[in-house]
Structure 1
Amino acid sequence: MTTLRSFQAEIEHFSHEKQKAAIALAREAHLAELKASHPKEVKKEEPATHKEEVNHVDEGDDERIETLLVNGDEERATAHLASALLRGHGEIILALGETEPISADKLASAADLLRRVAGGLKAIVTDLYNEGGAACWLVRLQPARVEEVSEVRVAVVGNVDAGKSTTLGVLTRGGLDDGRGRARLALFRHPHEVETGRTSSVGGEILGFTAAGESIFPTIHAPEASSAKREKLSWKEICQRAAKVASFIDLAGHERYFKTTLYGLSGCAPDYVLLMVGGNAGLIGMSKEHLGVALALNVPIAVCVTKIDMTPPNILEQTVNMLVKVLKSPGCRRVPVFVENKRQAVDCARNLSKPLMQGGKSDYRLCPIFMVSNVTGHNLPNLRTFLNCLPSSQMDDKYVVDAPLEFHISDVFSVPFVGTVVSGVVTAGVVRGNDPVLLGPDSLGHFIPTTVKTIERKRARVDSAEAGQSVALALKRIRRPQVRKGMVLVAKSETPPKAVMRFEGMVMVLHHSSTIQPKYTAMLHCGAIRQSVRIVSLDHPSGLIRTGDRSKVVFEFLGHAEYIKEGQLILLREAKTKVLGVVTRVLP
């Protein structure tokens, strides 16, 4: 019988291979288009590209930089550090003495050399920790424009009343809560959320970090200051001062809004998931559902245990024991680490996405646990350090800049005096103001030509946006009813994009109370797409599938055609039924 872990590894490998093939084709098409439109410019750029390939430094050279620092080779260390900063989008974390302690004199000389080298590159070096013969530094460039600010997208999930919005309010504004949820009021979007204290929509909040790693708060916390005067910095001003921004996606915890939460986890493309667990309630209800979805989508997970100031010690101990038991279970395969100091926070951030060797196998992953209190502020500085050191979303291989534009729409707005505005994530290519694009598919499966009027990133006007960034685009000559969530913006090309009604997928049933047969209908989540589908046929000897079975399935959209690609992950949900899979083939 196929296990969930082996099936996840299989579909991840399939998705990666399909993605590599699609990237190669997209790059060839992009280069051919550039040659056709600007032949002279492309010819001039070819020698420079070749030179970059010759001087390219492998990704494994981070360790070589550290060796060069210890050996005092300043010239080669400068070249390697410049290449590493280019690959890391202006940021890199260097550590010495992790495997074998180094003397204090060598650490001091290596730190001095690193500061000289970084100073020549106009980068800022920040000491993260220096203890026990080991040291770690954050090297970060100050971006010249908002377009260059690196971003980390974090989805915040958990059961109702776990303290998600309150924790975000305290994290992003720098103050503490009064024990009655005052810190969460600024995050709510609707009046009924303020009345009930429960989030019902996908909310957004940001936390900026300077090049030196210091948090940027929008508020001044003075007892005599009135609440109306506390908000000092807007999102735009935070981004102009920041070198890195953590974008939080505040999702609903109530069972009634699980569809919205699932869409946020799938459509907003989070890089990490922060699971909130109330210390007084434990891992109950929707917390387990959210954890299961995050595991199915293979998103790295960190856990925050909240309300530790008001929870009796025996209840808190029960919560921690239950949490550790669930994380270590065969379904999760996580190694829990309780973060209590800055060094642990930095090391967990660096290794969160990397597989760990456990019992001779490398399918275990790290899961940091933060015991926090929003009233006393316990462990909040370590949580901010962890967020500051997380790798940027733009470093992911799936986001390719030198490819035709592809932008997935996750939300739509109608802004007075601006027009229709769409927000989402640029998954490939670069978009600039006044670029001609195609919007679709519409209800008939067609793509509409339009133009990008203006671009905003975190409410700050920018000239361009590249793959991996979440932005908002204002479109020309497009009315609000013409756009829906799940549509895409793609670059104009000789071969127009095609929308499909049917596709084939390899799926595994995670849970179903009985059996799934042809003509079964469920809600499909695939990136920003959310639509009901019907099973047309099953490639299974028995003609039906149940919990634990896997099969090739042909799906058909019930509403309208969608723009879907091979290798995309799919998640089916209907009541408590959950089916995980990958798109293997699009059908005409």
Structure 2
Amino acid sequence: MTSLRTFQHEIDEIHNREVARQRALTSVSGDGDRPGEKGKNKSVTKGKAASTATKEEPKSIPAQPLNTIGSEEELDRVFELLVSTSETSHATARDVLASILTRRRGEMVLRVGSHTPKVVLYGAETADTESVGLGKNLNADDYERASQRLKEIVEDMGGVATTLSTGTDPPRSHVLVRLPPASVSDVPEVRCAVVGNVDSGKSTTLGVLSRGSLDDGRGKARVGLFRHKHEVETGRTSSVGMEILGFSTSGKPVLPNSQVVGSDSAAIVRRDKLGWENIAQNSAKLVSFIDLAGHEKYLKITLYGMTSGAPDAVILMVGGNAGLIGMSKEHLAIALALGVPVCVVISKIDMTPKNILADTIKQVTKIMKSPGCRKAPVFVENMETVVEVSLSLATERICPIFQISNVTGQGLDLLRTFLNLLPSSEGDQTKFAKDQPLEYSITEVWSVPYVGVVVNGILNSGSVTAGDTVFLGPDPNGGWAVTSIRSIHKKRHLVPSAEAGQCVSFALKKVRRATVRKGMAIVTRTETPPKAFRRFEGQVLILYHNTTLQKNYQAMLHCGAIRQTVRIIAMDNPNGVLRTGDRASVTFEFISSPEYIKEGMKLLFREGKTKGLGVITKLVS
């Protein structure tokens, strides 16, 4: 028996090793797009060099996560320069701060003064939680001088410094420093998957957050999010819905303007319509919500949204009056299996009796501390805690817990601030490499009148410009078609180019809708098209199965944007069967058509209640 936590560490190591090897091979072959070379065809000689180069494993990927750029020592040095009375010191502080902001893509949170240790702030100690306060200790005069000078420097750079939280004894504050993006292409985006059981308040919460108006207690806020008639009639989400919330340079949400029409006795609040293109144009940061289905029969849609959307965080909605029941546990297990950070939002606290709410909180706390989760629950009740958990969510084993009411508005400000501060993974070179060849996963396909085929997806690597000629595939025979990018849209706003980590839409030239499906890829055009594979080997762990898995067993495989039925054709287990908790090397075969896959890609397969987790270790011709 192999524990889930141990297996996750192993597949993460395999994934990182394979990604590093593939990037190294690309660098050796010269197949990566260098600045000024985007869209150019590479020679067949270089393509062959990539396939015949020795498989040397580099020590590490030369990249650094965004939320770790700018060490505490470097930031302490900034404040030492700020409290100085020398103009030369101030100029040096400006240069250092500008350098850190450039590396962090124009956004960071600074701790001015010495802050409360996380152990005290969170109310629970974990193995990776700081037990000492972060930030440089400043007296009252130095604190005021540093705060004032910081705002002047940021304003001089054209940005905005917004104070998020303050404290005394010692004086301290969190300051959000944000520079306005040059264009919509440069607006960072955070992707959040919203999951939870039926009637837990997912769509209602998203409606309130994105539109700014409170709910009436009867589902008024969620109606605008439904995409189909049966969703309006039943009140149940059955598709992957998308909503966006924009934040300005000062950190305020970009919401539609409202006006009160009528007398006091019959007043009606009317809100202007604000399209995605308007939100993107007026925002310095975007939060995209993937609204997923909560009903059991739509589990395949929810699972596809969580695997194909590459979310930076998962928001687990829990109804305060119902608790963590039904599909909520299933969704939590999937998020943990995929290794995505989780935060819990307990809704409907205005209508839940105190004793029932206390039971729900106790249940959530118990589940988060259980051996299967091993996360420290942190109840977010003030702005200082909000800032710290938003910065630590991806690096520490914590689970922020919010309590909100969509009718009274209680707790919504804390949740909005948390979303505003979540770091985007777009510029994270460990996940998305801009200097690698173009690779784009298709998650949605439409046929738009007078435009043609439009696809939506995520750029896994590389960069692309409108007019570039690319490969589209694979088709049912494993072949690739040549097409070109007619135009690129980001959140329905026309942009000239896109780079790794961004979620954008392409309008394709001379492509028929019937030939494009979800799970296909768009890659750099070369003399030799990439190869699609029908068979592959993978290290898998059976999370649950009520009997035994044997040869020829079929299940639905989720691997990034790929969703297709696979068949087990071989396994290295001596008994020839797999049970719950067993780990083995299994050879799979796609039933329908070959797919564009790579070694190191994580996979999740399911069939009914059966679930398995794994990673691709070898591609079989």
TM normalised by structure 2 equals: 0.87
Task: Classify the secondary structure of the residue corresponding to 1:239.
Answer: helix
Q: Is residue 62–residue 94 contact of structure 1 (8 Å, CA) maintained in 2?
A: no
Partner of residue 432 from structure 2, selected from 391, 396, 399: 399
Shift of 1:344: 1.0
Shift of 1:60: 4.5
Residue matched to 1:235: 276
Task: Classify the secondary structure of the residue corresponding to 2:615.
Answer: strand
The answer on 1:347 being equivalent to 2:380 is no
Q: Is residue 70–residue 109 contact of structure 1 (8 Å, CA) maintained in 2?
A: no
Residue matched to 1:46: none
Residues of 2 paired with 1:197 and 1:35: CA distance? 49
Partner of residue 128 from structure 1, selected from 164, 187, 204: 164
Residues of 1 paired with 2:503 and 2:486: CA distance? 17
The answer on 1:166 being equivalent to 2:204 is yes
Structure-2 change in CA distance of 1:33 and 1:344 (3 Å):
closer
Structure-2 change in CA distance of 1:517 and 1:451 (3 Å):
same
TM normalised by structure 1 equals: 0.92
Q: Is residue 433–residue 453 contact of structure 1 (8 Å, CA) maintained in 2?
A: yes
Residues of 2 paired with 1:10 and 1:470: CA distance? 29
Shift of 1:105: 2.1
- One-letter amino acid matched to 1:12: D
The answer on 1:68 being equivalent to 2:78 is yes
Partner of residue 373 from structure 1, selected from 405, 408, 421: 405
Structure-2 change in CA distance of 1:74 and 1:23 (3 Å):
farther
Residues of 1 paired with 2:31 and 2:107: CA distance? 29
> Which stretch has the larger CA shift, 93-102 or 554-563?
93-102
Shift of 1:581: 0.3
> Which stretch has the larger CA shift, 532-541 or 256-265?
532-541
Partner of residue 88 from structure 1, selected from 98, 104, 109: 104
Task: Classify the secondary structure of the residue corresponding to 2:243.
Answer: strand
Q: Is residue 414–residue 480 contact of structure 1 (8 Å, CA) maintained in 2?
A: yes
Structure-2 change in CA distance of 1:105 and 1:33 (3 Å):
closer
Partner of residue 313 from structure 1, selected from 344, 350, 354: 354
- One-letter amino acid matched to 2:538: G
Shift of 1:228: 11
> Which stretch has the larger CA shift, 542-551 or 558-567?
542-551
Matches within 5 A, 1:443-522: 443-522=476-555
Shift of 1:29: 4.3
> Which stretch has the larger CA shift, 219-228 or 239-248?
219-228
Partner of residue 577 from structure 2, selected from 506, 530, 544: 544
The answer on 1:414 being equivalent to 2:452 is no
Partner of residue 475 from structure 2, selected from 442, 447, 460: 442
Q: Is residue 279–residue 315 contact of structure 1 (8 Å, CA) maintained in 2?
A: yes
Residues of 1 paired with 2:7 and 2:268: CA distance? 52
Task: Classify the secondary structure of the residue corresponding to 2:542.
Answer: strand
Residues of 1 paired with 2:443 and 2:316: CA distance? 22
Residue matched to 1:206: 244
Shift of 1:393: 2.1
Residues of 2 paired with 1:219 and 1:534: CA distance? 54
Q: Is residue 33–residue 435 contact of structure 2 (8 Å, CA) maintained in 1?
A: no
Report the number of matched residues. 562
Structure-2 change in CA distance of 1:117 and 1:546 (3 Å):
same
Partner of residue 553 from structure 1, selected from 581, 586, 589: 586
The answer on 1:149 being equivalent to 2:187 is yes
Shift of 1:461: 0.7
- One-letter amino acid matched to 1:77: A
Structure-2 change in CA distance of 1:221 and 1:386 (3 Å):
farther
Structure-2 change in CA distance of 1:33 and 1:9 (3 Å):
closer
Residues of 2 paired with 1:429 and 1:510: CA distance? 34
Q: Is residue 365–residue 377 contact of structure 2 (8 Å, CA) maintained in 1?
A: yes
Q: Is residue 33–residue 437 contact of structure 2 (8 Å, CA) maintained in 1?
A: no
- Alignment root-mean-square deviation, CA: 2.0
- One-letter amino acid matched to 1:284: I
Residues of 2 paired with 1:221 and 1:304: CA distance? 30
The answer on 1:383 being equivalent to 2:415 is yes
Structure-2 change in CA distance of 1:206 and 1:33 (3 Å):
closer
The answer on 1:222 being equivalent to 2:260 is yes
Percent identity over the alignment?
A: 52
Residue matched to 1:301: 342
Task: Classify the secondary structure of the residue corresponding to 1:222.
Answer: strand
Structure 2: any 5+ residue segments left out of the alignment?
A: 39-61, 83-88, 116-132
The answer on 1:23 being equivalent to 2:23 is yes
Task: Classify the secondary structure of the residue corresponding to 2:286.
Answer: strand
- One-letter amino acid matched to 1:85: L
Task: Classify the secondary structure of the residue corresponding to 1:246.
Answer: strand
Higher relative contact order (CA 8 A, sep 6+): 2
- One-letter amino acid matched to 2:297: R
Task: Classify the secondary structure of the residue corresponding to 2:204.
Answer: helix
Shift of 1:82: 2.0
Structure 1: any 5+ residue segments left out of the alignment?
A: 39-52, 356-364
Residue matched to 2:607: 574
Residue matched to 2:155: 119
Q: Is residue 412–residue 484 contact of structure 1 (8 Å, CA) maintained in 2?
A: yes
Residue matched to 2:122: none
Matches within 5 A, 1:6-17: 6-17=6-17
Shift of 1:68: 2.1
Residues of 2 paired with 1:415 and 1:490: CA distance? 23
Residues of 1 paired with 2:539 and 2:312: CA distance? 24
Structure-2 change in CA distance of 1:372 and 1:37 (3 Å):
closer
Shift of 1:150: 0.6
Residues of 2 paired with 1:183 and 1:295: CA distance? 30
Shift of 1:33: 6.5
Q: Is residue 261–residue 270 contact of structure 2 (8 Å, CA) maintained in 1?
A: no
Partner of residue 219 from structure 2, selected from 181, 186, 200: 181
What does the per-residue CA deviation read over 1:201-223, in whole Å, with 9 as the maximum and x for residues that have no partner? 00000100001100001352535
Q: Is residue 455–residue 505 contact of structure 2 (8 Å, CA) maintained in 1?
A: yes
Residues of 2 paired with 1:407 and 1:257: CA distance? 26
Residues of 2 paired with 1:461 and 1:214: CA distance? 24
